[in-house]
Chain A
Amino acid sequence: MEKKLEKQYFAMVFPGFVIFTIGLIIPLMLAVRYSVTSWDGMSKVKEFVGLQNYINLCKDADFRSAWWFTIKFTIGNTIIQNVLALLFAVALDSGIKAQKLYRTAFFVPCLISSIIVGFVWLKMFSNVLPEINELLGTNINFLLFGSGRTVLAGLLIANNWQWIGYWMLIYLAGLQSVPADLYEAAKVDGAGPISRFFNITIPMLAPAITICVVGITTGSLKVYDLLVASTKGGPGRASTSVIYQTYTTAINGRQYGYGSAMSVTLVLALLLVAVIQVKGLKSKEVQA
């Protein structure tokens, strides 16, 4: 009887299992396999080159700069988005009127595709914001996508505009689940608002913080769409991310073996970051 049930359960899992395996796990294995060949994507033979691709990657200045950009972009996002999302959530939860209206205002940008967000900010920086200089007679440089030095700042603005509301909502839900009597008790004990924030709010928000930190980091490491319609990886190579670089190398440059090696490094980095963050943050979560 037990065995018969197990078979039926197995039949329910099976289709999803197969689709997932073909669509994601086999590609993962293929990436590892191709990464040790010099395949160009067309020829029948895939010449085995050992770890040569990985050795070349270490020497590849373009690839290093792509990683450097991606890391800066990720760290910037993780800090800014977490801090602002939490601040906004606390502000919205402080008893202000029309909370729902504010919530929607912050949230709407994340419904827009990253392609569009990139284009919108391209136009904002080049056409709309310079108008402020005209109006006020000031001379602020708004052409952030125009120079290698400011392009990161411009992209951070665009990306944060898009995603802050999303993470804010997660923090807001977390805040609303903190029992009010905890605050009351702390008040009675004479704890000020700042002490209450760090000793009650932050520890109680720990699960939300874990989700937001991991979500923002993995989301930023895979940045690609945003760049396509805005900077195209430029000026020069200043905003070329790892995926963007992999795309140009593999699809446009027809170096599938080398490109696969790039994908493998990204996958390893993603796994490593997720494991470290989940472990580190989970250990700080309190068991309420």
Chain B
Amino acid sequence: MTIKREKQKEPVNTQSYTKATFITQIVMTVVALLFVAPILIIINYSFKTKKELYLTSPLSLPSSFQTENYRKAFDKLDLSHTFVNTFFYTFVSVLILALLCGMTAWAIARCRAKFFKFCYIYFIVGILIPFQALFLPIYIIGYKMNLTNTRYGIIFMYVATGISFGVFLMNSFMTTVPLELEEAARIDGCSVFRTYFSVVMPLLKPAIATLVIMQAFQIWNDYLLASLYVSKKNLKTLTVAIQSLFSAQTSDYTTAMAAIVISVLPIAILFMSMQKYFIKGMTVGAVKG
């Protein structure tokens, strides 16, 4: 699929650069600058002092490069807890999802029994009903099962709410795994599990990378579930801490801006390094191929 697409890209790039293209280029440059402006303004604010915030124009540059705001944000966000927590929840949830979704999707794709066809539809329901719509009973069930205010509780819920998309995504990659290899493994006497883990899973690496980045970005940015499930100070996530910082610091928001930069940076780095996989995950089903 990818090879085909890259081949087709070429004629586009060799299109002649006409006057119309030039005008499009200028218009898009202006639009792109407007899109980037808020981000530049955030970064600019994060280096300003309180005095500069009140006395100078919002668009002027800070007079000196100072990192005081970052230091303050570090303390106010309780970063040594919140950052580690968010990282831990995201990392473990994504790890479990990567293991579970591949397994589940493969079994569904390969086994012809009726139950597995039902399973596929069953999991898809979760894509049609986003968990946010069910936040109330999800909170109630967590409360009843003593999952709230525990690390495993929130990880459990991230896995449960991410699994539908994961199974759907992995399922769409299953056609890339050649059946012959699996059959050969079977004839050599491999069990279903060994076939999956030693033959199929290595072939699914790009799919798993896609799954990892898509889910990591969702979980890292989640607010609703985190705000319902963890209220204890030492279990809080970054988004929850940032929200309380926002409501506490409405006038002096230079610290808040530094906090924003800190919280977006990890996911931005992950995106930059895995852009290819991210785009693949987003476009599943969108491209005929």
Contacts and interface: CB of A to CB of B under 8 A. Distances in A.
Interface of A: 5-6, 8-13, 15-17, 19-20, 22-28, 30-31, 34, 41, 88, 91-97, 101-102, 105-106, 108-109, 111-116, 119-121, 123-124, 127-128, 131, 134, 161, 165-166, 169-170, 173-174, 176-180, 204, 207-208, 211-212, 218-219, 221-222, 224-225, 228-229, 243, 246-247, 250-251, 256, 259-260, 263, 266-267, 270-271, 274, 288
Contact of A128 (B58, B133, B282): B58
- 8 smallest CB-CB distances across A and B, nearest first, come from A23-B160, A27-B137, A8-B192, A113-B221, A95-B15, A9-B111, A16-B104, A173-B283
A20 B134 contact: no
A179 B12 CA distance: 10
Given A8-B191, A24-B126, A95-B21, A112 B140 contact: no
Given A24-B131, A27-B137, A131 B59 contact: yes
Contacts of B187: none
A174 B286 contact: yes
B39 to A, nearest CB: 7
Contacts of A169: 279, 282-283
A113 B129 contact: no
Contacts of A161: 35, 38
A228 B157 CA distance: 22
B239 to A, nearest CB: 5
A96 B13 CA distance: 8
A170 B159 contact: no
Given A10-B115, A27-B141, A173-B279, A267 B286 contact: no
A23 B154 CA distance: 11
Interface residues of B, number: 100
A138 to B, nearest CB: 15
B223 A24 contact: no
Interface of B: 4-5, 8-9, 11-13, 15-17, 20-21, 24-25, 27-29, 31-32, 35-36, 38-39, 41-42, 57-59, 100-101, 103-104, 106-108, 110-111, 113, 115-116, 119, 122-123, 125-126, 128-141, 145, 156-157, 159-161, 163-164, 167, 191-193, 196, 217, 220-224, 228, 239, 242-243, 246-247, 253, 256, 260, 263-264, 267-268, 271, 279, 282-283, 285-289
Contact of A30 (B110, B141, B164): B141
A24 B28 contact: no
Nearest to A171: B286
B124 to A, nearest CB: 10
Contact of B192 (A12, A96, A229): A12
A218 B220 CA distance: 20
B130 A170 contact: no
Contacts of B100: 15-16, 19
A124 B257 CA distance: 12
B223 A5 contact: no
Nearest to A173: B283
